[in-house]
A and B are shown apart, each in its own frame.
Chain A
Amino acid sequence: MPHLLEMNQIYKAFGGVPVLNGVDFTVEKGEIHALLGENGAGKSTLMNPLTGVHPLDRGSITFDGAALEHITIPKSEAAGIAFVHQELNLINDLRVYENLFLNRELTGPLGRLKKREMSQIARDLFSELGVSIDPNALVSSLKTSEKQLLEICKALHRKARLIILDEPTTSLSNEEIDRLFSILRDLKEKGTSFIFISHKMPEIFAVADRYTVLRNGTMVQSGDIRDITPAEVTKLMVGGSFFGANAYQERPLGEPVLELRNFSGRGFQNIDLTVRKGEILGLTGLQGSGSSELLQGVFGAVPVTGGTLRINGKPVKSGSIHKAMKARAAMLPADRKENSVVPDMTLLENMYLSEHTLSASKLPIRKKAELARYEKQKELLDIKAASPELLITSLSGGNQQKVFLARWLNTDAELLLLDNPTQGIDVGAKAEIYQLILQLAQAGKTILVNTLEIPELQQVADRCAVFYEGEIVKILPHEDIDEHTVMLYSTNAISQEEAV
């Protein structure tokens, strides 16, 4: 039997940097195929040509026996490929059936919409799949899990035979995941194929038939899921060469710098935490578990509803970024492009944005002094840039992140809140960023790092606080930080008693 999807020797580079180096990837009819790999391994880059988002550099794709060339979004849709993105592509202000029929509405004479028919077809489709969604409800009123299911229904309604699911379970509860999986298995029996992109081993082993592991843009291994264990998959994903040697070193810790008592806000509650000078505390948890929100709460970027926050022993009024900055806190936010990059400014201007708000009473800019300090930071952080007058957008992700680190070091911050600092930067630069974090802690900075990448935390964190539904469920000492233990706590798979 021919493969449903066959991708041969796929090459793709962005701006001269190779992302895919001759990847082979096949999916059979009626299977759930897990596509595995770390962030930046090339999973989405491999999927993008399928849906016509980016063209290939080299390689061939056959789908259902026919070669797919010059793929565009409508072409891929017509072939029967659908991509359910992590950030769902639904229109919140339209009704469920309107989303389902978007751009392919049933119409009568004079373009009149056949609303009743469409609503009925939607209802039939849902009942066939065992989904209980009201076709006339507004999408904005649906739960995230329902939206996820709606996306899948939308793909099926468009006669998709291959559905790509990008981390579909991140925002679902355990029950919802079970329901999603039973629907997937059902559809699989009926001949629909799925590519399942996920990090979560238990889920992959619960639902997938086969797997393919990517690492640094090459296919490492592919096979039957029954022939492999989660530990082996992790090993394949991470590879042996992540950091080389273990860079972690124990440091003497000083006075408490950050003290939280009963600290609560949107997305996190009742946080009690003390972090001491020179300490690196890792925060982790599933998306939406509150670790990122806590950092934003400490920094005053989101409103806080209760509890106390002390920095260096002094209470800090929450809800004001400026006050937090004056107390010498700094936050490197997640999603660099959205929250850090000021795209129309040079890297020097980007680097001084925060310092300027602290020294705003002295209106003129002292450019000479800034340039001198720039040279120092450039050397300290090893920023690779030809000139401080270049636009920030001309730098690579890793170098941009170093500029933003410098933005905060320029404010003489003592407490650094780093939210997902290695998001979207290549492996080499990641190691560099963590090396810097260790150096800064050595120099007496207190650092909180929020990340989902446990292997990275293992390299730097003195302790690791695991979040579940807005609360810290466990603080692990350095020796106990490993992917397995963290995953158990962050999915609340074991309660604390059992662990003891």
Chain B
Amino acid sequence: MKNVQKTLSRLWSGYSFIVIFAVIFIFYWFASSGLTWGGTTNILRHSAVIGLIALGEGLVIITGEIDLSVGSMMAFVAGFSVVVFNATQSTVLTLLFALICGGLCGLLNGVLVGVAKMPSFIVTLATMLIYRSLAQYFCQQMDTALTGGGNSLFKMSREIGGYDLLYGFGNGKLLTVPNVGWVLLVFTVGCVYLATSTKFGKKLYAIGSNEKAARLAGIHVPLNRTVVFALCGVMVGLGSFLWICMNGSADPATSGSSYEMYAIAAVVLGGISMSGGKGRTVGILFGAMSYTIIDKIIVALKMDSLINDTIKGVILIVAILVQTAGPEIKAKVQGLRKAKA
């Protein structure tokens, strides 16, 4: 019995995200009165975009910084990827553009934070405003042939041969699991490998844990900071690409809106410390999926979707409260027991 308790408490301290996920998943199971395999794998589909963005955000947070621009960046990159697709009619160029454009957007954040040493909160707050505004501005100003006919929506032209390929990829399945879900899984594995088994990953943790010591150990802090923001941008670029594949369009006003908050929430729910240096990247996958399930629970219970964010917010507070206050309460209880004995 004691052993079980010990295992459980260790599981909680290192892998609380799995416990949270399991609780939410079981709740979903009951709420939806029986769950199909398709319904389960569908969670992965709806977690794909936010999951990829959260992975990038997670790397940034591990270094002790934050990126608030990811949601707007997605609207910007997705919008212009649609334009590139409409202009070049090439699927390969569209993918390349999404990754590079995301990388450059991230690089701008990275240079301002890492090299110019500005606070990341302010820098990315500014670029958050900039990226979305640019997306909206150009959507209105651009030739309708490029935006796919509208001036409030970037729409991929269905006449182009590549459309079916991209849309098919975005909505198809491989071995009964959505393609975009596979992409998320593959990149999660990649991120876990990067964070746990490469020298670059260790440097990120070291910078987040004690920047001064990291510098004196020879780590080039400005360079690594810049790179991690650029990397986050590439992940956003990939997320944007999946988004247009799944939807065939991008709305500069609403696509990716609040995604920076969901991404940060998924990272925190995944057990990564906001002050940096601590946490497992695999948790981000579970954090992102937990939030997707909450959406689905609300649909299953036929609740008003406007209550959605309230529930997400409450769950975040409860989860963090348990994580931070839990050990303290435990120590106090143990102290009381000792005093009695």
Contact = CB atoms under 8 A, between A and B. Distances in A.
B197 A356 contact: no
Given A359-B199, A365-B197, A321 B216 contact: yes
A201 to B, nearest CB: 34
B114 to A, nearest CB: 16
B110 to A, nearest CB: 18
B217 to A, nearest CB: 4
A322 B216 CA distance: 10
A333 B212 CA distance: 10
Contacts of B28: none
A407 B219 CA distance: 13
Contacts of A345: 202, 205-206, 209, 277
B200 interface: yes
A339 B213 contact: yes
A244 interface: no
Contacts of B203: 353, 356-357
A336 to B, nearest CB: 9
A220 interface: no
Given A363-B199, A364-B198, A344 B209 contact: yes
B278 interface: yes
Interface string B28-46: 0000000000000000000
B218 A325 contact: yes
A477 interface: no
Contacts, number: 84
Given A353-B219, A357-B219, A343 B199 contact: no
Contact of A407 (B199, B210, B215, B217): B217
Given A342-B210, A345-B206, A345-B209, A356 B216 contact: no
B253 interface: no
Given A344-B278, A345-B205, A354 B200 contact: no
Contacts of B219: 353, 357
A299 B217 CA distance: 11
B212 A339 contact: yes
B124 to A, nearest CB: 24
Interface centre among B199, B202, B215, B218 (most CB of A within 10 A): B218
B214 interface: yes
B332 interface: no
A227 interface: no
A331 B220 CA distance: 16
A358 B220 CA distance: 11
A299 B208 CA distance: 23
A349 B197 CA distance: 11
Given A354-B218, A360-B199, A341 B213 contact: yes
A349 B214 CA distance: 12
Contacts of B214: 342, 353
Contact of B217 (A338, A343, A354, A359): A354
B199 A342 contact: no
Contacts of B205: 342, 344-345, 349
Given A322-B220, A345-B206, A353-B219, A360 B213 contact: no
Size category of the B interface is: 20 to 34
Contact of B218 (A322, A343, A349, A363): A322
A202 B24 CA distance: 70
Contacts of A333: 216
A347 to B, nearest CB: 13
A365 to B, nearest CB: 6
A338 B220 CA distance: 18
A208 to B, nearest CB: 37
A288 B40 CA distance: 64
A440 B63 CA distance: 35
Interface in A308-360: 321-322, 325, 331, 333, 338-345, 349, 352-354, 356-360
Contacts of A363: 198-200
Contacts of B210: 338, 341-343
| Interface hub of A325, A344, A365 (most chain B Cβ within 10 A) | A344
Nearest to B211: A342
Nearest to A333: B216
A356 B217 CA distance: 10
A414 to B, nearest CB: 15
A460 to B, nearest CB: 23
A306 to B, nearest CB: 23
Interface in A401-454: 407, 411
Nearest to A330: B218
B115 to A, nearest CB: 15
Contact of A321 (B206, B213, B215): B215
Nearest to B212: A339
Interface in B164-205: 197-200, 202-203, 205
Contacts of B215: 301, 321
Contacts of A357: 199, 203, 217-220
A343 B220 CA distance: 19
Interface in A349-389: 349, 352-354, 356-360, 362-365, 367
Contacts of A356: 199, 202-203
Contacts of B208: 344
A377 to B, nearest CB: 16
Ranked 6 nearest A-B pairs via Cβ: A356-B199, A344-B209, A344-B277, A357-B218, A353-B217, A354-B217
7 contacts: A331-B216, A338-B213, A340-B216, A341-B210, A343-B277, A345-B205, A357-B220
Given A325-B218, A342-B217, A356-B202, 20 more contacts: A321-B215, A321-B218, A333-B216, A340-B216, A341-B213, A342-B277, A344-B205, A344-B277, A345-B206, A349-B202, A352-B202, A353-B202, A353-B203, A353-B218, A353-B219, A354-B218, A357-B220, A362-B199, A364-B198, A411-B218
